[in-house]
Chains A and B, each alone.
Chain A
Amino acid sequence: MERREFGITVVSPAAFVLALFVLWELVCRVFNVPLTILPAPSDVFAAMWQYRAPIADNSFVTLWTTLAGFLIATVFGLVLGIAVGWHRAIYAGIYPVLIGFNSIPKVAVVPVLILWFGLGEIPAVLTAFLISFFPIVVNVATGLATTEPELEDVLRALGASKLDVMKKVGIPRSLPYFFGSLKVAITLAFVGAVVSETVGSNKGIGKLMLDAQAAFQVPIVFAGLLVLAVLGIALYAATAAIETRFTGWAFRGQANR
């Protein structure tokens, strides 16, 4: 990597994060903010270290429920997206239902899921899935719908079936849309899992934070928030890396400087 490049992509975000923490610390110290309102970063990191075992334990649960929900959403979203993009009748039939479903706040669904599946990881997985499949469906369908008509003509004139057109053009063409939507979906899945844990669960970061809050252990609550932020960034970065790996051609402007 070039030095200038390194400066922009590594040093700059690190410096920004550091500055944010320093500012936070200063505000807490100067105004003497009580620990129960806003703990300083030093208190938060201390709590994180002290309770590292339960934090790691619960992070792991949140992580795997998120990933499980995300995987189901990916498969389901891809299949439904292709179905919706395949034919206008399917599109017209499914779309209103999809939008209606997507408008329901998922917090409201969690109690129902707990009623059906009991406390535990399953409601978290399902909430993560339910909240994150929508952008995948919409993006895949959009990718398919925006196939150039001339290109379709070229193939159809050769006697290509609808399936051929999908396989040769539609699906490869919608891959950048698909991977783009994965970045959105992974963060949503994460939110879904944590929301479900907060509403009712016996494990996970959400549950840990809820318990800490009840016990006025505010530094632990903030430690939980920090862990969530870091996990969120990591998951996003992983999906973004997969995206560039598979659809490099769509990023030609950046890849071929």
Chain B
Amino acid sequence: MPESFVEIESVDLAYDKESGNAIEDVSLAIREHEFIAMVGPSGCGKSTFMKLCSGLLPPSKGTVVVNGRPVSGPLKIVGMAFQNSTLLPWRTTLQNVLLPLEIVEPYRSSFKQKRAEYEARASALLKSVGLEGFEQKFPWELSGGMQQRTSICRALIHEPEILLLDEPFGALDAFTREELWCALRDLQAERNVTVMLVTHDLREAVFLADTVYVMSSRPGRIVRRCEVGIPRPRDLEVSYTQQFQDVVHELRQLIGGQH
């Protein structure tokens, strides 16, 4: 196995002393260009885990190492997208996608001079997720699926090495969701970015990821690491095969809950 790109070692995280650990004794290693998914019951600290990886929260115990360096503050090589698209309603789609470039160096200092170049890049990115011609529309003129596409474009515009997705498709209908799975699959294949996907949807996790981690309920621990043995990139048809169903079924049993 190649050297790991993200290494998390026996990490605990508590928001404050009274509430106890949100996640506990989490260790995992992610290869460069790997696509991992985190699944688990509600409130198992999946989102906390994302904040940890992006450097927004420091671990209470243990270490997070990304690209050979311990994480001590926000990581600029990270792009994030959330369940609600958090697009800015006063900006057009194109301007929303450009937002990270106004903040991250080296783009920030050259933003004014190279605006045309960056706009072309944003347009190309939007085109690659099927949003050609929507650059000048405002987010509220787009459908939910289109907003999520835009949100993912925003997360990718500064060419991050890690893409963190926190239930990005949770608010979409089933068909739009499947469409976006394919869009994400293609984006990842094309850009070769390392992806961490937090989701409630086991089919989504199994369809997209190389490796699925199952977390227990609070305090969140990793109870299982499961390599999806289906070759990638996968076609939607795969999700109807027995092999796929077996993996989903196995994961479902691990999560448990009352029925």
| A141-199 interface (Cβ within 8 A of B) | 148, 150-151, 153-160, 164, 168-169, 172-173, 175
- Return chain A residues, CB-CB under 8 Å to B55: 157
Task: Give bound CA distance, A155 to B82, whole Å.
Answer: 13
| A235-257 interface (Cβ within 8 A of B) | 247, 249-250, 252, 256
Shortest CB–CB separation between residue B156 and chain A, in angstroms? 12
Shortest CB–CB separation between residue B103 and chain A, in angstroms? 5
What 1/0 flags go to B64-92 for Cβ under 8 Å of A? Answer: 00000000011110101110101011100
Tally of chain B residues near chain A (CB < 8 A): 31
Shortest CB–CB separation between residue A90 and chain B, in angstroms? 23
Q: Specify the main secondary structure of chain B where it touches its partner.
A: loop
Task: Give bound CA distance, A250 to B88, whole Å.
Answer: 11
Contact of B159 with A by CB under 8 A: no
Residue of A nearest to B55 (CB): A157
- Return chain B residues, CB-CB under 8 Å to A148: 84, 86
Residue of B75, B76, B80 ringed by the most chain A CB atoms within 10 A: B80
Contact of B140 with A by CB under 8 A: yes
- Return chain A residues, CB-CB under 8 Å to B189: none
Residue of B nearest to A164 (CB): B103
With A157-B54, A158-B103, A158-B104 known as contacts, the answer to whether A252 contacts B89 (CB < 8 A) is yes
Q: Are A159 and B140 in contact (CB under 8 A)?
A: no
Contact of B244 with A by CB under 8 A: no
Contact of B138 with A by CB under 8 A: yes
Q: Are A249 and B75 in contact (CB under 8 A)?
A: no
Task: Give bound CA distance, A175 to B88, whole Å.
Answer: 13
- Return chain A residues, CB-CB under 8 Å to B104: 158-159
Shortest CB–CB separation between residue A176 and chain B, in angstroms? 9
Residue of A nearest to B158 (CB): A158
Residue of A nearest to B50 (CB): A153
What 1/0 flags go to B36-66 for Cβ under 8 Å of A? Answer: 0000000000000001001110000000000
- Return chain A residues, CB-CB under 8 Å to B80: 153-154, 157
Contact of B102 with A by CB under 8 A: yes
Q: Are B90 and A158 in contact (CB under 8 A)?
A: no
Q: Are B54 and A172 in contact (CB under 8 A)?
A: no
- Return chain A residues, CB-CB under 8 Å to B164: 157
Q: Are B103 and A250 in contact (CB under 8 A)?
A: no
Shortest CB–CB separation between residue B155 and chain A, in angstroms? 8
Contact of B100 with A by CB under 8 A: yes
| B146-200 interface (Cβ within 8 A of A) | 154-155, 158, 164, 166
Task: Give bound CA distance, A156 to B80, whole Å.
Answer: 10
With A150-B82, A157-B56, A169-B88 known as contacts, the answer to whether A249 contacts B138 (CB < 8 A) is yes
Q: Are A150 and B74 in contact (CB under 8 A)?
A: no
Residues of A within 8 A of B (CB): 148, 150-151, 153-160, 164, 168-169, 172-173, 175, 247, 249-250, 252, 256
Which 7 pairs, one residue from A and one from B, show the smallest C-beta to C-beta distance? A157-B54, A151-B86, A150-B82, A249-B90, A160-B103, A158-B103, A159-B76
